[in-house]
Amino acid sequence: MIEQKFFPGYLFDLDGVLIDSMQQHTEAFRLALDQYNLLLGDVEIAGRSTMEIIEEVQLSYPDDEIPIVELVVLKQTIARDLIKIAGQEILFPHVDEVLLRLTSVSKVGICTSGSRSSLEFFLSLISSAIKFDVLLCADDVTHSKPDPEIYLKGASRLGVATKHVLVVEDSLSGIKAGLLAGCQVAQ
C-alpha cells in the first residue's frame, strides 16, 4: 500500500481551481462593458479582481469618463446571476470528495480574488460536511494577487508556516502570489 502524505495546510484559489466559472465571468465582463460601449480587449482576467480589470480597461479609453465603481458592481451582479444559473455545473469533478478528504487530515482554506458573495455561493454548492479553517476574498486584503498578502494572511490564520502550505492555483498572478508568500504551489 502506498502511504499518502499530506501538507499541514492547503490554500485553494476558487475560480479555475474549485469551480470553472471563467465562461460566466468573461460573459459578464462583455455584457457590462457593452453597456458603456467598451471592450475587454486582451486584458487578462484570471486571478485578478474586477476593480483591477476595469481600471486596466479604462487605460484603453483615456478620453472617456468611465464610472468604474458602477461598472464593477454591474459586472459582479451579472456574473453572480450567470453563475447561479449554471449552478453545480461549474464545480470541477470530485471537488466534494477531495475537500472532504483534505479537511479531515489538514487545515484547509480558500483565498480568492473574487467577491464574498461568489465565495458564499460556492459554499452553497458543496457538501455542508466540508469545514474550512480559512475563507478569504478580495474584501479581506488591501492588495490583490500577485501580491502575496492573501496567502500570507491565509497561512497565518491556518496557523501553519508558509513553507508547509500548498497553494493550489491556476493563474500566473496567483502562482506568483503563492511563491512570493513562501508557499509551495501546485498548478
CA of residue 121 relative to chain centroid, distance = 13
At 43-57, the pLDDT tens digits run: 988 878 889 899 999
At 21-34, the pLDDT tens digits run: 989 999 999 999 99
Banded pLDDT at 1 (limits 50, 70, 90)? low
User: For residue 101, what are the β-bridge partners?
Assistant: none
* CB neighbours of residue 65 within 10 Å: 8
* Residue 13 phi, psi dihedral angles, 5° rounding: -75, 165
- Asked if residues 150 and 24 have their Cβ atoms less than 8 Å apart, the reply is no
User: For residue 90, what are the β-bridge partners?
Assistant: none
CA distance 28 to 12: 23
Question: 133 is written with which cell numbers?
Answer: 479553517
Q: How far is CA 29 from CA 26, 33, 153, 170, in A?
A: 5, 6, 29, 20
Global pTM reads 0.86
Ramachandran quadrant class, 145 (left: phi over 0; alpha: psi -120 to 50; beta: rest): beta
Banded pLDDT at 2 (limits 50, 70, 90)? low
User: Residue 118: CA atoms inside 13 Å, Cβ hemisphere, count?
Assistant: 33
Question: 41 is written with which cell numbers?
Answer: 480587449
**Among positive and negative, which fits the CA dihedral 11, 92, 125, 31?**
positive
- Asked if residues 13 and 174 have their Cβ atoms less than 8 Å apart, the reply is yes
pLDDT for residue 49 = 82
Average pLDDT of the chain to the nearest whole number: 93
pLDDT for residue 23 = 93
Task: Report the SS3 class of residue 11.
Answer: strand
Question: 67 is written with which cell numbers?
Answer: 464610472
At 66-109, the pLDDT tens digits run: 899 999 999 999 998 999 899 999 999 999 999 999 999 999 99
